[in-house]
Structure 1
């Protein structure tokens, strides 16, 4: 028989978790006023300080906002669904990076900030996916993707040196249309990608880059992009704030 298991989180964390789920799934839409502190105290059987701690957590996550003399209101919205497949095709000639053009379709402002370009010894799982020998190296391009100036995704993308060497990918600057467009021009069009998505405790780098509130996990995607003949041309680690975004996949059934 399985042993009994209980939620050992503090009371304010449990309350915040319940309210957060109602907000992110749309049951408490933006502009909704939350019940008063006394009402929440009675609903959950806790003290006022516990309720205030729960509300503070959600304010720090920018899901709630307090209006003096009026109450506490839902500031956030349902999680934004991001469909990875729309970003995979190379941009057309003269067109911007698809992160920017797709954001524009949603009336958002997409932008990116290039953080680092360097030849590195990649993490083990990246090296294996790229088929590198022990101590093999790859090109790393690290950037932050933003929506309406809000950091959305920390992207660490690795490329085989034999593809990147001598190209604009090696330079500390953005590439018009993004690396998929450049790789396509070089004769390596993206044909397929494989995603492994997990929820993980963020590293310090991810917390700072994504401006995460305390104890918020990240949604981590490990992505391998293949070209013709199943040749891996890019392996990426993509970290998103788990409370703001969700992944949307539409997959035809064979």
Structure 2
């Protein structure tokens, strides 16, 4: 078969030359191109041929037409899109949404518009969430803006029965993330199935994202599953090709084998109460009445000021808290018991997304050794009377059930104690900041 010697069309050669100048840096981002008339004169052709050549570059996304000013090399300042970011642990009470935080850290202005509605899912969403005909979903539809320009859309679909009445139904930022809310509701996502489709945008996407001609989009669909394999969330992200670089590295980080435990700081009152609130929400959804009242912030602040409230932190993100003092509660402990040297445990809480790593056991070991170092005899606590699983937990960690006390207006009163210095050696090592000398310690 012979190769045709027919010369390349002139409008394509015009496009080739300008494309080459953009590629080699002769024409930089934002540079103004010659006018249609100037190009026509340079190539001894008609203006319509010049327009046709420029149209090729517009469709390729290399230049933009800004009439009547002319044609300009498109400025491309892509944001890095990291699908793995949804599994990165963040504070429970951050100041801003993670998307806004990321862009602000890069010196760019970010914002978003959120709408929430209840809809019949389309076929693709229904299949991904394994829904029956007629089952409704809640959808959080977001348009995200960078430097005033719409950069991407992020539409999250949830089975309505799972999220009805939760924060997910409120069209506001959920700074700690919808994934954390799902965990609090009892539907922690431990893996995700990702699909990437690259195509030209639909008319709706063109309108929502104000896309110019020739701008392809990558559509990232991510479906999150619980440990039991139930799909609980499908997210559809529409990412214009000229505004994004997609970087993949997906895994849920394991809890490190060596963590820092330190006194909570005055400014970390909200971090402590956020742990409390998350635990209370989780207990409520399990039908347990423990801690169904607002966190007593004044008392927690007093404990922090006294150096009695501690945080376990993983790369400075609070993952657990425990409060220790030497004050025997007179409603529960007898005068004779109160006279015995003991350290008392209060408000021990572990974040739900790090449960299963025996962090509670590690805190009890740390407290037990702390009691022994202070010359005390016992490590004691009073547990919620109606929480049978919690009582069984302490019994399995070597605590002796002393008795259960009925005190007016008090819901705890299941008394437990363990000899100071007794440890089970479960969970990660907890070390004070000055002892934490292994920054390269791996999970």
> In the alignment, does 2:102 pair up with 1:102?
yes
Contact 1:216 1:242 survives alignment (8 Å)? yes
**How many correspondences in the alignment?**
241
Q: Deviations over 1:170-222 (max 9, x none)?
A: 23333233312322333433322222111223222211110011353322122
Larger CA deviation: 42-51 vs 186-195: 42-51
Over 3 Å counting, the alpha-carbon distance change for 1:21 and 1:140 in structure 2 is: farther
TM-score for the superposition, normalised by structure 2 = 0.45
* Alpha-carbon offset, residue 94 of structure 1: 1.7
Equivalent positions of 1:225-240 (< 5 A) are: 225-240=224-239
Correspondence 1:29-44 to 2 at 5 A: 29-30=28-29
**Which stretch shifts more, 162-171 or 205-214?**
162-171
* Matches for 1:92-131 after TM superposition, within 5 Å: 92-95=91-94, 96-115=96-115, 117-131=116-130
Moved more, 228-237 or 76-85: 76-85
Q: Which has the larger radius of gyration?
A: 2
Q: Check the 8 A contact 1:146/1:152 in 2, yes or no.
A: yes
Please name the residue that 1:76 is paired with.
75
Matching residue of 1:158: 157
Distance 1:55 1:228, change over 3 A: same
Q: Is the 8 A contact 1:97 1:178 kept in 2?
A: yes
Q: CA deviation at 1:40?
A: 6.0
Q: 1:44 to 1:237 in 2, by over 3 A?
A: farther
Aligned runs of 1:89-238 on 2, under 5 Å? Answer: 89=88, 91-95=90-94, 96-115=96-115, 117-238=116-237
User: Residue 19 and residue 62 in structure 1: after superposition, are their counterparts in 2 closer, same or farther (change >3 A)?
Assistant: closer
- Residue by residue over 1:84-140, the C-alpha shift from the partner in whole angstroms, topping out at 9 and shown as x without a partner, is 21244353122122111111222222211013x222111112111111112221111
Deviation per CA, 1:141-174, whole angstroms, max 9, x where unpaired?
A: 1111111221111222110223201212123333
Query: Which range moves more in the overlay, 158-167 or 34-43?
Result: 34-43
Match of 1:15 in 2: 15
Going from structure 1 to structure 2, the CA distance change for 1:174 and 1:250 (only over 3 Å counts) comes to closer
What secondary structure does 2:182 align onto? helix
- Normalising by structure 1, report the TM-score: 0.74
Please report how far the alpha carbon of residue 10 of structure 1 lies from its aligned counterpart in structure 2 after TM superposition. 11
How big is each residue's C-alpha offset from its partner over 1:55-105, in whole Å with a ceiling of 9 and x where there is no partner?
47749x695588x99x96535036444222124435312212211111122
Secondary structure of the residue aligned to 2:126 is helix
Higher normalized contact order (CA 8 Å, seq sep 6+, divided by chain length): 1
Structure 2 unaligned runs (5+)?
252-443
SS of 1:30's partner is coil
